[in-house]
C-alpha cells in the first residue's frame, strides 16, 4: 500500500488529537514562498509559527488562513527586498 502526504497528515492529526482539516496546498505554497524568499530553513519554522499563531487566535480554519495570508505577504515583501 502506497502512503501519501494526505495519509501522513491524517495520521499526524489523529496522533495529536487535532480535529482540523489541513489546507495542505496553502501550507506548501507558503513554505515555497518562504524557502525561496527568505531561506530554506525558515519554511518549517514558519509553518510552526503560523500554526501557533492560529491556535492563539482560536485555532479554526479561518485563523489558519489569516495567519497563512499575513505570513505569505510578509515573505513576499522580504523577497522583494532581496531583488
Q: What is the pLDDT of residues 61-81, one digit of tens each?
A: 899 999 999 999 999 999 888
**What pLDDT was estimated at residue 40?**
95
**What pLDDT was estimated at residue 24?**
87
Residue 15 in any domain: the answer is no
pLDDT at position 20 over 90: no
Residue 55 in any domain: the answer is yes
Q: What is the mean pLDDT of residues 33-51?
A: 94
Assess contact for 12 and 52: CB atoms under 8 A.
Answer: no
Residue 1 in any domain: the answer is no
Residue 40 in any domain: the answer is yes
Residue 7 in any domain: the answer is no
Residue 63 in any domain: the answer is yes
**What pLDDT was estimated at residue 66?**
95
- Domain range holding 29? 21-82
User: Distance between CA atoms of 35 and 46, rounded to whole angstroms?
Assistant: 10
Residue 16 in any domain: the answer is no
Q: Count the domains in the chain.
A: 1
User: Distance between CA atoms of 73 and 18, rounded to whole angstroms?
Assistant: 27
pLDDT tens, residue by residue, 24-41: 899 999 999 999 999 999
User: Distance between CA atoms of 3 and 6, rounded to whole angstroms?
Assistant: 8
Residue 4 in any domain: the answer is no
Amino acid at each position: 500500500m502506497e502512503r501519501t502526504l494526505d495519509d501522513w497528515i491524517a495520521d499526524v492529526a489523529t496522533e495529536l488529537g487535532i480535529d482540523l482539516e489541513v489546507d495542505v496546498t496553502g501550507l506548501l505554497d507558503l513554505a515555497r514562498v518562504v524557502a525561496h524568499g527568505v531561506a530554506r530553513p525558515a519554511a518549517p519554522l514558519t509553518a510552526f509559527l503560523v500554526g501557533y499563531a492560529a491556535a492563539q487566535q482560536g485555532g479554526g480554519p479561518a485563523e489558519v488562513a489569516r495567519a497563512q495570508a499575513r505570513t505569505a505577504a510578509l515573505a513576499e515583501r522580504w523577497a522583494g527586498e532581496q531583488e
